[in-house]
C-alpha cells in the first residue's frame, strides 16, 4: 500500500490562533495583521486537504496555525529568525503551496489549481483588510466563486447536481414553514428543546403534525417504520444543512444561521419575501406563460405573482398587503434590502444641504416617492445634514398608515407623510429633489415611462430626479440575475444602461448621468426635466 506523506507543520500566509472572537493572527507574528477571514481560510484549508492525500487538520490544529504536510521552500517568506518559538506553530507561508505538485501528483491538476486559487484569493483578502478593513466586500464575491468552482468540479455528475437542487429547494421550504409557524422563535437562544416540547410550544395539534414518538427509526421493536411528525422531518432538513443543530436524538438547538429568523429580524423577513414572492411564483411560471404567452408581463395585473395566488385580476400590492402581518413583514424586509444595497457612498447628496440654506425656506427639499418606511431618506439626511422636516415620504395609503402608527417612525422626527398612487398625478410640485429607490424595477417599461412622466410633469427646471436602481451588466452576476427573475414574478425587470436611457427619454427627462461603484451594479441615475 502506498504510504501517506509524513506530517509536518506548515501555515498559510499568517499563523492562526483560536480566541473567544474567532480565529486571529498570532499576536507575536511579525506581520501583526489582526483578524483574518478565518472561516474562509479554514474552509479552504480543509478543501485542499481533501484534494490531496494528507490528514485533514483538526480545529485545534487550525487554531495553532497547523495546516499542511508540505516542506518549506527555499523562497519561504518567513526566515528562521521569525519562526514561532512554539514547535507546534508552522514554519512556512502560503508561498509553499507552490510545492504541492511534488507531493500530490495523484490529485487532478485542475482541482489543485482551483484550491490554490481559492487560498490565494483569501490571502489577498487578508492583506487588503490590513490596509482597509472594509475592503473584504470587494473580495467576497470572488472568494465565493473560487469555492463554488471547487464544489462544482467535485459534483461532476448530473445526478449529484440534481440532488443538490433538491436540497436547496427543500431547505428553503423548511425555512419558510418554520418562519411562518413561529417555530424558530420557540427554540431557546441558549440550550435546546425537545421536538415534542417544540411542537407543543408552537401550538400545533399533534394529530396535524403526525404521531410524536421518541423511538428511533432503527428501534428493534418497530423495525424501520416510525411515524415521526412533520415538524421533526422539517427540522431534520434544516439540521442537515446547518441551519439548526440536533442535540442527542430528540432535541434541537439554534445555530448562528437560524437566529436571523427570530425577534422580527428584517433579514429573516427578506428570506420569507423571497419565498412567497419568488418560489411560489416560479412554481407557476410554466402555467402562467402557457396561459398568457411567452412574453414579459405588461400591466399591473395578470402577473405571475397574482396568477400564482389565484387573484390575477388584482395588482401585486392588493394581494401581498392584504393582512397587517404581511404588511409589517414586507416593510421590515425592505429595510433589510435597503441595508443590502447601499444608500450612501455612490452619490454625493451634500449639495442638497447647501441648497437648504440658500433657497426658499418653504420649498420641499426631498420627496421620497414610494419610500416605504423612510429608512433611506433618514440615512441620507443623517449623513448629509439635510433637515428631515423639509422632506416628504410618499407611498400607498396602506403603507403610510403603518408608518404613522409606528412609534419610532420618521414622522416622529418631523418628516411629512403623504399617501399617493405614483401611477397618478404627483401632488408635490417643484421640489428640489424627487427620489425613487428600487420601485421602478417592479414594473414593465411602459408603466415605468408613465410613472416617470407623472414626476417629470411636476418638476421645476432646477429639480432633479434621483433613481436608485441596479444598472444591469451584460452578462449579469448570479445575484443580479436572481433579482431580475424575482422582479419578473411581479411584472418588473432589472434594466441595463441603454434601456434606462430609453425609458427616461420617453418620459420627458434628459441630462442623464449614471453614478456607480466598481464591481457593483447598484447606482444612482440623475436626470433633469427636458426643456
* Total-model pTM: 0.71
Lowest-confidence segment of 20-34, 117-131, 248-262 by average pLDDT:
20-34
What pLDDT is attached to residue 40?
A: 52
Which of 403, 405, 451 minimizes the C-alpha distance to 426? Answer: 451
**Residue where a domain stops, chosen among 225, 245, 261:** 261
What digits encode the pLDDT tens for the residues 269-303?
Answer: 888 889 999 999 999 999 999 999 999 999 999 99
CA distances from 157 to 52, 160, 531 (A): 21, 5, 60
Residue 5: inside a domain: no
Regarding whether 170 and 46 lie in a shared domain, the answer is no
Regarding whether 164 and 150 lie in a shared domain, the answer is no
Do the Cβ atoms of 307 and 284 come closer than 8 Å?
A: yes
Average pLDDT of the residues in 402-431: 92
pLDDT for residue 386 is more than 90:
yes
Regarding whether 117 and 247 lie in a shared domain, the answer is no
Q: DSSP per residue over 169-194, as a string?
A: HHHHHHHHHHHHHTHHHHS-SSSEEE
Here the contacts of 352-357 (C-beta below 8 Å, separation 24 or greater) are 352/384, 352/386, 352/432, 352/433, 353/384, 353/385, 353/386, 355/432, 356/386, 356/387, 356/390
The CB-side HSE value for 338 (13 A sphere, CA atoms) comes to 22
Regarding whether 120 and 56 lie in a shared domain, the answer is yes
Surface-to-core class of residue 119, CB atoms within 10 Å of its CB (0-12 exposed, 13-18 middle, 19+ buried): buried
Lowest-confidence segment of 23-37, 353-367, 451-465 by average pLDDT:
23-37
Regarding whether 204 and 147 lie in a shared domain, the answer is no
Where residue 242 sits, what CATH number does that domain have? 1.10.10.10
Do the Cβ atoms of 438 and 469 come closer than 8 Å?
A: yes
H, E, C per residue of 203-256? CCCHHHHCCCCCCCCCCCCCCCCCCCCHHHHHHHHHHHCCCEEEECCCEEEECC
Regarding whether 359 and 388 lie in a shared domain, the answer is yes
Confidence of residue 42 (pLDDT cuts 50, 70, 90): low
What digits encode the pLDDT tens for the residues 94-108?
Answer: 434 434 444 344 456
Residue 109: inside a domain: yes
Residue 274: inside a domain: no
Which secondary-structure segment (H or E) carries 325? Answer: helix 324-340
What pLDDT is attached to residue 406?
A: 83
Regarding whether 140 and 45 lie in a shared domain, the answer is yes
Do the Cβ atoms of 22 and 40 come closer than 8 Å?
A: no
Give me the percent of the chain exceeding a pLDDT of 70: 72
Q: CA geometry: angle at 175 spanning 172 and 179, to 5°? A: 140
pLDDT for residue 164 is more than 80:
yes
Regarding whether 413 and 337 lie in a shared domain, the answer is yes
Confidence of residue 156 (pLDDT cuts 50, 70, 90): low
Average pLDDT of the residues in 408-424: 92
The CA distance from 522 to 347, in Å, is 11
Phi, psi of 382 (to 5 degrees): -65, -40
Residue 279: inside a domain: no
Residue 299: inside a domain: no
Where residue 424 sits, what CATH number does that domain have? 3.40.50.150
Do the Cβ atoms of 523 and 514 come closer than 8 Å?
A: yes
Residue 48: inside a domain: yes
The CA distance from 175 to 255, in Å, is 13
The CB-side HSE value for 463 (13 A sphere, CA atoms) comes to 25
Domain total for the chain? 3
Handedness of CA 90, 91, 95, 97 (dihedral sign): negative
What digits encode the pLDDT tens for the residues 332-376?
Answer: 887 777 667 789 989 999 999 999 988 899 999 999 999 998 999
Confidence of residue 203 (pLDDT cuts 50, 70, 90): low
**Residue where a domain stops, chosen among 121, 154, 187:** 154
Give the DSSP letter of residue 368. Answer: E
Regarding whether 170 and 144 lie in a shared domain, the answer is no
What pLDDT is attached to residue 242?
A: 96
Residue 195: inside a domain: yes
Lowest-confidence segment of 261-275, 283-297, 377-391 by average pLDDT:
261-275
Regarding whether 33 and 170 lie in a shared domain, the answer is no
Which of 422, 484, 492, 420 minimizes the C-alpha distance to 452? Answer: 422
Regarding whether 422 and 338 lie in a shared domain, the answer is yes
SS3 528: strand
Regarding whether 496 and 431 lie in a shared domain, the answer is yes
Residue 266: inside a domain: no
Average pLDDT of the residues in 465-491: 94
Which of 303, 304, 299, 312 minimizes the C-alpha distance to 285? Answer: 304
Q: What is the mean pLDDT of the chain?
A: 78
Do the Cβ atoms of 313 and 301 come closer than 8 Å?
A: yes
**Residue where a domain stops, chosen among 91, 121, 154:** 154
Quote the domain boundaries for residue 357. 326-529
Q: b vs e for 307-332, b when ≥16 Cβ sit within 10 Å of the residue's Cβ?
A: bbbeebebbbbebbbeeeeebebbbb
Do the Cβ atoms of 13 and 126 come closer than 8 Å?
A: yes
Amino acid at each position: 500500500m502506498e504510504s501517506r506523506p509524513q506530517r509536518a507543520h506548515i501555515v498559510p500566509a499568517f499563523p492562526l490562533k483560536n480566541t473567544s472572537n474567532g480565529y486571529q493572527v498570532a499576536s507575536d507574528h511579525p506581520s501583526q495583521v489582526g483578524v483574518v477571514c478565518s472561516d474562509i481560510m479554514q474552509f479552504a484549508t480543509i478543501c485542499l486537504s481533501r484534494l490531496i492525500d494528507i490528514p485533514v487538520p483538526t480545529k485545534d490544529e487550525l487554531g495553532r496555525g497547523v495546516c499542511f504536510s508540505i516542506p518549506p521552500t527555499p523562497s519561504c517568506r518567513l526566515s528562521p529568525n521569525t519562526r514561532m518559538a512554539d514547535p507546534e506553530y508552522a514554519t512556512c507561508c502560503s508561498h509553499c503551496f507552490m510545492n504541492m505538485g511534488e507531493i500530490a501528483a495523484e490529485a487532478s491538476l485542475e482541482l489543485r489549481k482551483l484550491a490554490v486559487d481559492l487560498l490565494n484569493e483569501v490571502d489577498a483578502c487578508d492583506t487588503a483588510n490590513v490596509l482597509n478593513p472594509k475592503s473584504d466586500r470587494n473580495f467576497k464575491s470572488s472568494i465565493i466563486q473560487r469555492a463554488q468552482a471547487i464544489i462544482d468540479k467535485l459534483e461532476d455528475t448530473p445526478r449529484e447536481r440534481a440532488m443538490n437542487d433538491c436540497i436547496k429547494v427543500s431547505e428553503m421550504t423548511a425555512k419558510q414553514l418554520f418562519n411562518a409557524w413561529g417555530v424558530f422563535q420557540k427554540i431557546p437562544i441558549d440550550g435546546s428543546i425537545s421536538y415534542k416540547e417544540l411542537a407543543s410550544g408552537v401550538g400545533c395539534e399533534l394529530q396535524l403534525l403526525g404521531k410524536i414518538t421518541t423511538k428511533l427509526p432503527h428501534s428493534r421493536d418497530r423495525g424501520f417504520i416510525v411515524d415521526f411528525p412533520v415538524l421533526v422531518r422539517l427540522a431534520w432538513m434544516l439540521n442537515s444543512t446547518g441551519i439548526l443543530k440536533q442535540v442527542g436524538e430528540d432535541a434541537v438547538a439554534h445555530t448562528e444561521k437560524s437566529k436571523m429568523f427570530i425577534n422580527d429580524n428584517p433579514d429573516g423577513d427578506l428570506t420569507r419575501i423571497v419565498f412567497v414572492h419568488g418560489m411560489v411564483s416560479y412554481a407557476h411560471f410554466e402555467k402562467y406563460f402557457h396561459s398568457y404567452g411567452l412574453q414579459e408581463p405588461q400591466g399591473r395585473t395578470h402577473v405571475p405573482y397574482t396568477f400564482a395566488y389565484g387573484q390575477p385580476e388584482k395588482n401585486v400590492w392588493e394581494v401581498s398587503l392584504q393582512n397587517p402581518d404581511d404588511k409589517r413583514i414586507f416593510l421590515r424586509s425592505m429595510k433589510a434590502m435597503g441595508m443590502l444595497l447601499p444608500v450612501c457612498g455612490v452619490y454625493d447628496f451634500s449639495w442638497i444641504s447647501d441648497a437648504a440654506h440658500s433657497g426658499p425656506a418653504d420649498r420641499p427639499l426631498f420627496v421620497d416617492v414610494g419610500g416605504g418606511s423612510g429608512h433611506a431618506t433618514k440615512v441620507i439626511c443623517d449623513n448629509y445634514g439635510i433637515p428631515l422636516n423639509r422632506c416628504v415620504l410618499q407611498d400607498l395609503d396602506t403603507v403610510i398608515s403603518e408608518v404613522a402608527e409606528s412609534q419610532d417612525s420618521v414622522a416622529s422626527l418631523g418628516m411629512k407623510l403623504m399617501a399617493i398612487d405614483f401611477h397618478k398625478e404627483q401632488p408635490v410640485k417643484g421640489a428640489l429633489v424627487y427620489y425613487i429607490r428600487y420601485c421602478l424595477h417592479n414594473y414593465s417599461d411602459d408603466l415605468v415611462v408613465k410613472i416617470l412622466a407623472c414626476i417629470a410633469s411636476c418638476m421645476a427646471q432646477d429639480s432633479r430626479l434621483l433613481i436608485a436602481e441596479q444598472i444591469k451588466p451584460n452578462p449579469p452576476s448570479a445575484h443580479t440575475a436572481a433579482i431580475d427573475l424575482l422582479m419578473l414574478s411581479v411584472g418588473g425587470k432589472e434594466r441595463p444602461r441603454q434601456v434606462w436611457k430609453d425609458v427616461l427619454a420617453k418620459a420627458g427627462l434628459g441630462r442623464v448621468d449614471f453614478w456607480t461603484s466598481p464591481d457593483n451594479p447598484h447606482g444612482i441615475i440623475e436626470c433633469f426635466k427636458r426643456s
